Amino acid sequence: MSRILYFRKMRDLKNTPPNPAMAEFLEFDWKNRSILTDTDKAKLHPQKIDPKEALQTLRNLIQASTDTELKCTFPLDDNTLTKFLNARKYDVEATYKLIRNYYWYRKKQSAICSDLRIENCDIKNCIRSCLPGVLPSKDRKGRCVLLFLANNWDCTYGLISVYRALLFTLEYLLEDIHNQTAGFVVIIDWTEFHL
């Protein structure tokens, strides 16, 4: 590459805005020094909501739902509802949408989502192969780190089995309240992977 092309490419890179998906990994964005609006401040510091009140409001929303199947079959115990409320920082409307989407997905993909237990051979084989692996320490933001090393996959079990193992692992890890609020990071390493 000639020097002129190199410098043009570097100039273009400097003028390119950072990838929003990677923005959380930037320590400080010196170019963006805008003053926060009131709505931005509200998003950063949501109002404190009484957990009992949020639970009852969410329970009422589910019971008033037009989807009778969701209303009759979704568990309304405090632990289940709190798990979803934590995921949406106690925003009841967003939590209700999350529950509807969760229920709809599990109903639509019932073959994949049913019988997620460690006793199943496909899930057990994947977990023995560390697909997914869970790192013992959290990342710098306190999130649980899941690790997929693709070269551990011996291809005697299918991709659906790996996905089922991931769903099982997430369901298991979401029993911890810290994981419900902090979330997860997934790292996939494709090094030396071949079929």
What is d(CA 44, CA 181) in angstroms, rounded to the nearest whole number? 15
Look at the chain and report how many structural domains it folds into.
Answer: 2
Question: Lowest-confidence range among 45-49, 69-73, 155-159, 185-189?
Answer: 45-49
CATH code at position 184: 3.40.525.10
Q: How confident is the model at residue 28 (pLDDT cuts 50, 70, 90)?
A: very low
pLDDT, average across residues 36-64:
76
CA proximity to 127, closest of 106, 146, 142: 146
pLDDT of 103 > 70? The answer is: yes
> What residues make up the domain containing 98?
51-108
Please give the sequence-ordered ranges of beta strands (E in DSSP) within the chain, or none if there are none: 133-134, 144-149, 184-189
Torsion of CA 13, 40, 60, 112, to 10 degrees: 10
Structural domain contains residue 1: no
pLDDT in tens, 142-172: 999 999 998 888 888 899 999 999 999 999 9
